[in-house]
Structure 1
Amino acid sequence: MISSDSMMPEGFARLFAQKKLTAAVFLPVEVNGHVGMYLCFCESEKKKKWENADVKFINDVKRIIQTILTKRITKNSLASSYASLEAILENVGCAIYVRDPQTGHILYANEKYQKFFKKTLEELPLSPVSLQDATETKNGLFREIYSEKENRWFDCYSTHIQWVDGRKVTLCTIYDVTDKKLYQQKIEKQANNDFLTGLYNRMRCEQDLQHFVEDTHESGGEGALLYIDLDDFKHINDGLGHQYGDILLKNISSGLKQIPGVNDNCYRMGGDEFIILISHKVYPNLHNIIDRIKAEFARPWRLKGTEYYCTMSMGVVRFPTDGDTVEELIKKADIAMYDAKCAGKNRVAYYDENVISTSFKRLDLEKNMRNATRNAFDEFEVYYQPITDISKPGMPCSGAEALIRWNSRELGVISPTEFIPLAEYLGLINPIGSFILREACMRCKYWNDMGHPDYKVNVNLSVVQLLQNDIVEQIAEVISETGIDPKNLTLEVTESLAINDMNRMKKILADIKKLGVRVALDDFGTGYSSLNHIREMPIDVIKIDRCFIIDIGKDDFSNAFVKMVAELASAIDVNVCVEGVETKEQLDILMGSKIQLIQGFYFGRPMTAREFEEKYL
């Protein structure tokens, strides 16, 4: 019996006995190397003798079934794999598409790609991303592109792969890098742009200047560099506060950028310094551009509801005429700009090789002045020029004006006309002014204690000092420290300074007078004089400038001016001091007018404290 065949597995033997099978052939059907099922041919009615032809037929059927099953399983597995792969591709963070390079048709595009370009697969163009001029990498081609329509940046990569049907296709992956690009642009802007004004900064200026020089050299033309420094910007910054100084800088920057030929070639070098680069293309309009810049600074700037004037000094260098390196051109432009300041500010100076020695002297002055101010002002000394009261019998000395002198250990005696503008430019006038004020008050207190209680000392206040927010507190502190009687201190302010901001100046001077200090209006008649200033300003003394005294007695205008001021001052109980009296003839003419005080070489030149005390104590 077949059921007793020792080769038959036990399970099959039981099945055959149960079904009363008389003969059977069973073959394992393998799929992918594993038995998936058994193929059985059975006989239950009669005994069966299997022939070779039967066995061959059975094996052929097995092979057919095995082949069909293998293909179906493989197909199902591939479908499952494709579904998994597509799910992965649809959920990656980049856009992916496959393109037939022969026909240009897109064979596949994931959902991210369609979202990037807001089109369905059927609507996508044949060449949505051009990889022309792409960079070749070890993994294929790369190109950064900007979609103006989408206003987005993309990094695009492409490589060749074999498609499912065996043909070669192009696989492209696209990454949206807009956020990264915007962040990079922000960092680059911070590195290249001035935070306050939005102009390019020093670093960008030096880079662009190098390109300008190279382009000019290649073209055979000429370019220019304009170095601008604002005149007395510190006065506005200290007087109105840094907030309004910043507003002024932004307004100036905006105005400069709008000048044809300047545009984006304007740079803030720091503080109140600007550079404008003139390319060889617009160089023929150089003089027109400079005139437009000068006109920009000729108009007033409105701050805190009031109009203020802020002029500029400009140095001009040409390249390659004056130099062809970045460092050289900026240095020479700075030299020319400083020469413009020394010539009286509000000027334009072209670089001149002949002024190099002067500029090196300026550098020495700067170095030595900084050292002198750091070393307790030991190289500075206060001189005193006597002031005589001609309204009293015997014309006694009534005090002196304090004047600063600098005797440098390395450079010798330096004229005030040379070092005071430099001190203002370097921002050292405040500490120097404070030194003069303290020294003068200490000396006057000594005179008062030595038997001259009515001696007074006059101290000049620079515009920078006067516009400090705490100037009144500083003066009060010096008075307290030195013990001087406030009425014996006279602070001199220039007429041009006083009228620049009349309302602010009246308040500052009124606060100073509350300390008991006297105020003198210096250089009267040399500025935009208005007799109304005498009425409005809280002053005690008017000082008539020496230019009206030189020709007094010979010039009708000088005679009339001095007489008019003296008469008006007398009517409002203000004293008059005349400067620059050098001859007896001048003194005799003034004696007949309502003038109280005289100052000039006729009575005494500026002298040391010791010389003054030997003569007048």
Structure 2
Amino acid sequence: MIGYNIIRFMYYRRVILSGNKTVNLELSQIIHMLEDNGTFVEVSKNIIEKITDNLHAQDAVIMQISADGKSMHAIAEAKDVIGSKLDVEDISQCCLCSDELKRTAMSTASDEEKERLALCNAKICISVPITINNVKAMYLLVMGDTDDFAGEDKVIEYIKDVAMIIHSIAQSKVINNSLISSYDVLQKILDNIGSGIIVCSKNSGNILFENDMASHVTEVRETIRECLEEVFQNKDISGHIGTPMERYNTESGLWFEVRFSELKWIDGSDVVVATAADITQKKKNQQKIEYQAHNDFLTGLYNRMKCEVDLRKVIRRTEKAGLKGAVLFLDLDDFKHINDGLGHQYGDILLQQIAAGLTGIPGLRGHCYRMGGDEFVIIIEPEIYNELSKIVTNIKTLFNKPWYLMETEYFCTMSMGIALFPDNSVDVHEITRMADVAMYEAKRSGKNGYAYYSSEVENSTAKRLDIENNMRQAISNEINEFVVFYQPVVNVNTQMCTSCEALVRWDSKALGFMGPGEFIPLAEYLGLITSIGDYVLEEACRRCKIWNDNGHPDFYINVNLSVVQLLQKDVVENIKRILDKTGVNPKNIVLEITESFAINDMQRVMEIITGLKKLGPRIALDDFGTGYSSLNYIKQLPLDIIKVDKTFIDDIVEDDYAQAFVKLIVDLSKTIGTKIVVEGVEHKEQFELLKSLGVDYIQGYYFGKPVPANIFEEKNLEGRLGK
């Protein structure tokens, strides 16, 4: 485009060359039309009217070439003399026009040219081509009615200069129209983009453009403007290019990502473009992914990965501040029994209830983690370390209460290990392992207990690994290292040994002789107890038959059934197989089930006990009083014997509560037709008191420790026991 300043320079050049002030003044008037805001047709008509007046021309016209380049028509004419006659003429036939300025006079024209001039009632025609964007688009035709019209060179130059001005105006209008058109198209495009867009001047910060979303959506507009204000205040525009800002709108709850870029605007100026995209769903997806990565999907607690991350931070902070913290490692007791007995869906419900219970303990919300299966970890941060003892008590209390599954009470206890940091370790994996080691020590010592990590516990763990390895080998080798001992059960009134309890011992070739407390919890934990239990039952049945066949037909043996055995789907069939295999009289076998099993899933327990009783054995409820069963449970179960746990007997001589409890059970047994056996009797005073309370049978060291079959037979099967 030839700008206004170039045209002005051209004008002054004409002044110097021509010296014609009149022509120059006329050209000056036309040059000023460059600033006219009218349409091209309007401005062009004004120009050619001035040409006609200034040159005393017959007419002047601007002809526009058609898009196909085959015809042209008048778009502006000074006096409406020639335009209509040339509208439909083919350019190739219009011999008055050419690719350059052409002066056609009647006196020198060809016959065809004379014919064209005659059509226009003209004696002479000056035609000048006008190009737009380097393409010939129009012609300026100026007609005279005398032969000497435009005879001077200065007139020709004047017409050429006017054509140049028309070219400049046309080029400017095309560009301006393109800009307007481009701007309109751009706005329509940007209005349909799902982001807010604001364009502002890089130099001043003034807003040049806002799309529809930025104009009408309040939170979008406020977010972009807030970010732009921050960028311009810091005067670090380039530093924010390519670096998005994330903003959260509290009122709408939406997240936006604001990005910045620099570019040339449609008018050529430097601008900053700020776009705000709604990334709320992206944020939600990220949060969901993060939640899934750090949380246990079942319980909603944090998971193992999150535990390691958090514990590492807490240990670092605790050590730096010279404070203390702790890791609590919990494992549920006999969870597998509930899971197998009720089904995994109810096991999952129990885990959810336990998770809710733990987080409900003051100070533990946000600090509980499910490590997998039925294992949980709790991090005690230094801020609540002084409450450790209280927290441990609250956890024990939580597990002293029943959980409700299938509208029934179920009891599930836990064993917990505690390791301290930085005292025991400052390594995440090591401190967790130590708490796990202490947890097993607690499990070995009894249910619903806890133990602190110590070097003694560590040594015990090393021993446990030896026990585990050797136990697996012993079981795979026909269980021949396990032996059955027998402890007498004595009639209180006659002091005669009427039965005994079969108790397993392990005579390990590698580790030596071990009592049940050293390996039974581990066997249960490892799932090996079923093989051992079946072996003990078979040996006891075989021994009972021998004694029955050799002069003691009414003598019977009590055999403990582990919870794992009882939860086997084929438990009744398996026991029938053993009874049939040994040929023992089933009535001389008493199957003992633990209280914790009896009170969980009453319907299933009833089905199992009913099935077992049909085989002939009697049923005893073992460890009564250690669990949480109500008297109502005892009334529902078809029991033959109730065995009161030794914990009630240890201090019964001085403990009024223990005496009242035993008396209550004795009275109940008479009502429901069961016999009472009291375990753990070691002193004469205990024996005399229990006798006075009406207890039927006594078992304990007072009458004999568990011994091998041959020794038991010598001491107890020849009649009256003496003291």
Q: What TM-score comes out, normalization by structure 1 length?
A: 0.80
Determine the C-alpha separation between the residues in 1 that align with 2:172 and 2:363: 77
Q: How does 1:602-613 map to 2 (within 5 A)?
A: 606-607=707-708
Are residues 126 and 61 of structure 1, via their aligned partners in 2, closer, same or farther at CA, if it must alter by over 3 Å? same
Deviation at 1:106, TM superposition (A): 3.3
Are residues 543 and 167 of structure 1, via their aligned partners in 2, closer, same or farther at CA, if it must alter by over 3 Å? closer
1:379-406 Cα offsets, whole Å, 9 max, x none, are 5434253869989x9x8x9886443333
Corresponding residue for residue 180 of structure 1: 282
Q: Secondary structure at the match of 1:155?
A: strand
User: Which of 358, 362, 365 is the aligned partner of 2:464?
Assistant: 362
Corresponding residue for residue 609 of structure 2: 509
Query: Are 1:422 and 2:522 counterparts?
Result: yes
Are residues 313 and 570 of structure 1, via their aligned partners in 2, closer, same or farther at CA, if it must alter by over 3 Å? closer
Q: How does 1:144-183 map to 2 (within 5 A)?
A: 144-163=246-265, 168-183=270-285
Query: Which letter does structure 2 place at the counterpart of 1:173?
Result: T
User: Which of 76, 84, 87 is the aligned partner of 2:188?
Assistant: 87
User: Structure 1: 5+ residue runs without aligned partners?
Assistant: none
Q: How does 1:193-592 map to 2 (within 5 A)?
A: 193-373=295-475, 375=476, 377-378=478-479, 380-385=481-486, 401-438=501-538, 440-441=540-541, 457-467=557-567, 471-476=571-576, 478-479=578-579, 486-494=586-594, 498=598, 505-506=605-606, 508-522=608-622, 537-541=637-641
Query: Which letter does structure 2 place at the counterpart of 1:509?
Result: I
Are residues 81 and 501 of structure 1, via their aligned partners in 2, closer, same or farther at CA, if it must alter by over 3 Å? closer
Are residues 58 and 103 of structure 1, via their aligned partners in 2, closer, same or farther at CA, if it must alter by over 3 Å? closer
Corresponding residue for residue 72 of structure 1: 173
Contact 2:219 2:252 in 1 (8 A): no
Q: Secondary structure at the match of 2:424?
A: coil
Determine the C-alpha separation between the residues in 2 that align with 1:583 and 1:218: 56
Determine the C-alpha separation between the residues in 2 that align with 1:299 and 1:389: 35
Are residues 406 and 57 of structure 1, via their aligned partners in 2, closer, same or farther at CA, if it must alter by over 3 Å? same
Deviation at 1:208, TM superposition (A): 0.4
Determine the C-alpha separation between the residues in 1 that align with 2:198 and 2:325: 51
CA RMSD of aligned residues (A): 5.0
Query: Which letter does structure 1 place at the counterpart of 2:209?
Result: Y
Taking every aligned residue pair, what percent have the same amino acid on both sides? 45
Greater mean alpha carbon deviation, residues 213-222 or residues 37-46: 37-46
Contact 2:198 2:224 in 1 (8 A): no
Corresponding residue for residue 98 of structure 1: 199
Greater mean alpha carbon deviation, residues 571-580 or residues 43-52: 571-580
**Structure index of larger Rg:** 2
Greater mean alpha carbon deviation, residues 522-531 or residues 237-246: 522-531
Determine the C-alpha separation between the residues in 1 that align with 2:395 and 2:687: 48
Contact 2:505 2:516 in 1 (8 A): yes
1:100-151 Cα offsets, whole Å, 9 max, x none, are 46665433222243465457x7x88842667679998895332233222222
Are residues 347 and 24 of structure 1, via their aligned partners in 2, closer, same or farther at CA, if it must alter by over 3 Å? same
Corresponding residue for residue 58 of structure 1: 159
Corresponding residue for residue 117 of structure 2: 16
Deviation at 1:201, TM superposition (A): 0.6
Q: Secondary structure at the match of 2:271?
A: strand
Determine the C-alpha separation between the residues in 2 that align with 1:561 and 1:39: 126
Contact 1:117 1:150 in 2 (8 A): no
User: Which of 172, 190, 209 is the aligned partner of 1:108?
Assistant: 209
Query: Which letter does structure 1 place at the counterpart of 2:364?
Result: V
Deviation at 1:323, TM superposition (A): 0.9
Determine the C-alpha separation between the residues in 2 that align with 1:72 and 1:542: 109
Deviation at 1:562, TM superposition (A): 10
1:216-245 Cα offsets, whole Å, 9 max, x none, are 123222222122223333343344443333
Determine the C-alpha separation between the residues in 2 that align with 1:529 and 1:84: 81
Query: Which letter does structure 2 place at the counterpart of 1:363?
Result: L
Query: Which letter does structure 2 place at the counterpart of 1:274?
Result: F
Deviation at 1:279, TM superposition (A): 1.9
Q: What TM-score comes out, normalization by structure 2 length?
A: 0.69
Contact 1:382 1:402 in 2 (8 A): no
Determine the C-alpha separation between the residues in 1 that align with 2:115 and 2:157: 27
1:315-374 Cα offsets, whole Å, 9 max, x none, are 22221121111011101111222222233332332222343211221232234334544x
Q: Secondary structure at the match of 2:383?
A: coil
Are residues 128 and 321 of structure 1, via their aligned partners in 2, closer, same or farther at CA, if it must alter by over 3 Å? same
Contact 1:429 1:464 in 2 (8 A): yes
Are residues 515 and 263 of structure 1, via their aligned partners in 2, closer, same or farther at CA, if it must alter by over 3 Å? same
Q: Secondary structure at the match of 2:409?
A: strand
Are residues 305 and 156 of structure 1, via their aligned partners in 2, closer, same or farther at CA, if it must alter by over 3 Å? same
Q: Secondary structure at the match of 2:615?
A: coil
Contact 1:382 1:608 in 2 (8 A): no
Determine the C-alpha separation between the residues in 2 that align with 1:74 and 1:561: 106
Contact 2:318 2:324 in 1 (8 A): yes
1:143-174 Cα offsets, whole Å, 9 max, x none, are 23322222222222113334456654321122
Are residues 115 and 412 of structure 1, via their aligned partners in 2, closer, same or farther at CA, if it must alter by over 3 Å? farther
Determine the C-alpha separation between the residues in 2 that align with 1:450 and 1:77: 120
Contact 1:385 1:599 in 2 (8 A): no
Determine the C-alpha separation between the residues in 2 that align with 1:416 and 1:68: 110
Deviation at 1:198, TM superposition (A): 0.1
Query: Which letter does structure 1 place at the counterpart of 2:333?
Result: D
Q: Secondary structure at the match of 1:514?
A: helix
Q: Secondary structure at the match of 1:349?
A: strand
1:287-320 Cα offsets, whole Å, 9 max, x none, are 3333333333343333333334433332222211
Determine the C-alpha separation between the residues in 2 that align with 1:561 and 1:145: 68
Q: Secondary structure at the match of 1:318?
A: strand
